[in-house]
Amino acid sequence: MTADVAPAIPTTRTPAPARRPLLNTRRLTDVLSHAYIWLCLIVFVLPFLALLGYSFTGPGGTRPAQNFAYVVSSFGDNLLWSLKISALTLVINVAVSLPAAYAIVRQSFPGKRLLFSVLTLPLYVPGAVIGISLVLTYNFTYHLTTSMWGLVLAMSLGTFPLMLTPLVVALKDLPIVFEEAAECLGATRWQTYRRIVLPLIGPGLSAGLLLCFIIVFNEYLVTLFVHPPGLTTAPLRVFNQIRTAGLSPTTAALAVTMQLISFAAVLLFFRLFGTRHLKGTYLL
């Protein structure tokens, strides 16, 4: 019987090594794999490091303190504007996304998928298109060109889907039995929401906050289109500086400051909540 089967399948014969080879393929691939990861990581961080180095220089040697002091003095306004705009945007995003996420997850209504697509669409529209459409609409329909709120709402529009998604994920992961138990124990809807649901989706909410903060804080593209005259956020300032004055250490210092603040926010989040809650967002 066996004689009939064997010839149809080709077999390869590799000689078995006598001892464990020192430089075997597996170890080599492992080393190369890790090297590849590290190479990519270095490439990611390289621009930042370059700017960091650059920010420490000046005419006649290194003067990091002065550059960064310059950042505070000259660009301080821009930094403050960035923080302010980010904070306001975050507040609006939460106010808009939290109820919407709750309705999407807990209520039943037709066309949920369509609605979710409709609401997350801003993520897929190119920034320049959002920019041009808003600047024209602001100018001629809403008359919002000179108000800070025009910029805030533009930022909010572009980023609230990034708040919505982690919230939806967090709410889906929250067993409905907790809300039912609270209701049976006599809690009103608002009490249930405030005392049970919110604390338990806290990490998801923070993930959304982190994401939105990072994006809004560093946003320059749409800002270029819609910012009111006189209101320049820090990234926009960096952009303008490069375009008008070319590269300079102080500009680099500003860019570095922005990235450090962003990185600190990320670290803080990781420290507090770990990486679980970023599922479904772009950060994980």
Partner 1 sequence: MSTVRLASITKNYGATQAVHEIDLDVADGEFVTLLGPSGCGKTTTLRMIAGLVEPTGGRVFFDDQDVTFLPPRARNIGFVFQTPALFPHLSVADNVGFGLSVKRAKKPAIAARVEEMLALVGLTGYGARLPAQMSGGQQQRVALARVLATDPRVLLFDEPLSALDRNLRDTLKYSILDLQRRTAKTAIYVTHDQSEAFAISDRIVVMNAGQVEQIGTQMEIYLNPRTEFVAEFIGANNGLAGTVTGIEGVGEAARTIVASGELVLRCRSVALSPFGVGDSVIAYLRPEDVVVLQDGEAAEFENLVEGTIERVIFEGPTAQIRVDVGGRQLRADVSGSRRLSFPEGRGRVRLGFNDLTLIQAEPTNPAEPAGPADPAEPTGATGA
Partner 2 sequence: MSGEVGSLAPLLPAALSVPRRRDRAARVRTLALLAPAILLALLFLYYPLVFIVQMSFTEGSSFLSPSGAISTLENYVTIVNRYLPNVFVTLQLAFLATLVDLVFGFPFAYILVRKVRYRTLVRGLMVFPMFGALYIAFGMRFILLPGGPATPILQALGIASTDALFSLPSVVFAMSIFTFPFMVLNIGTALSNVDPTLEEAAACLGARPWQTFTRILLPLTRAGLVAGALTVFGWSIGTFAEPLLLGSINEQRALAWTVYQRGVVQTDYGLSTAMGTVLLIIAFVVTYLSLRYSRGALIE
Residue 140 structure tokens: 């001629």
Supply the minimum distance, in Å, between the C-beta of residue 192 and partner 2: 13
Mark out the alpha helices in 56-139 (DSSP H runs): 64-106, 112-120, 127-137
Please state the closest distance from residue 269 (CB atom) to partner 1, in A. 19
**Which of partner 2, partner 1, none lies near 126, with the C-beta cut-off 5 to 8 A by kind?**
partner 2
Cβ–Cβ under 8 Å, residues 222 and 155: yes
Residue 200 interface partner, choices partner 2, partner 1, none, CB cut-off 5-8 Å depending on type: partner 1
How far apart (Å, rounded) are the C-alpha atoms in residues 205 and 272?
Answer: 13
Find the shortest distance in angstroms from Cβ 165 to partner 2.
7
259: closest CA among 52, 57, 19, 99?
52
Q: Which of residues 129-148 bind partner 1 (CB under 8 A)?
A: none
Residues 6-45, one symbol each (x = binds partner 1 by CB under 8 A, - = not), give: ----------------------------------------
Quick one: which of 112, 233, 229 has its CA closest to 164?
A: 112
76 binds, among partner 2, partner 1, none (CB under 5 to 8 A by kind): none
DSSP conformational letter for 9: S
Give, in degrees to the nearest 5, the angle at Cα 55 between 53 and 58: 105
Task: Name the maximum alpha-carbon separation found in the chain.
Answer: 90
Measured CA to CA, the distance from residue 101 to residue 169 in angstroms comes to: 9
Please, which residue, 24 or 191, has the CB nearer to partner 1? Answer: 191
**Closest separation between CB of residue 181 and partner 1, Å?**
4
The nearer residue to partner 2, 2 or 108, going by C-beta atoms, is: 108
From the list partner 1, partner 2, none, partner contacted by residue 43 (C-beta under 5 to 8 A by kind)? partner 2
- Binding partner at 137 among partner 2, partner 1, none, C-beta below 5 to 8 Å by kind: partner 2
Binding mask 166-205 for partner 1 (x = CB under 8 A): ---------x-xx-xxxxxxxxx--x---xx--xx-----
21 contact, one of partner 1, partner 2, none, CB 5-8 Å limit per kind: none
- The closest alpha carbon to 231, from 93, 82, 104, 119, belongs to 82
Residue holding tokens 């590290």?
A: 38
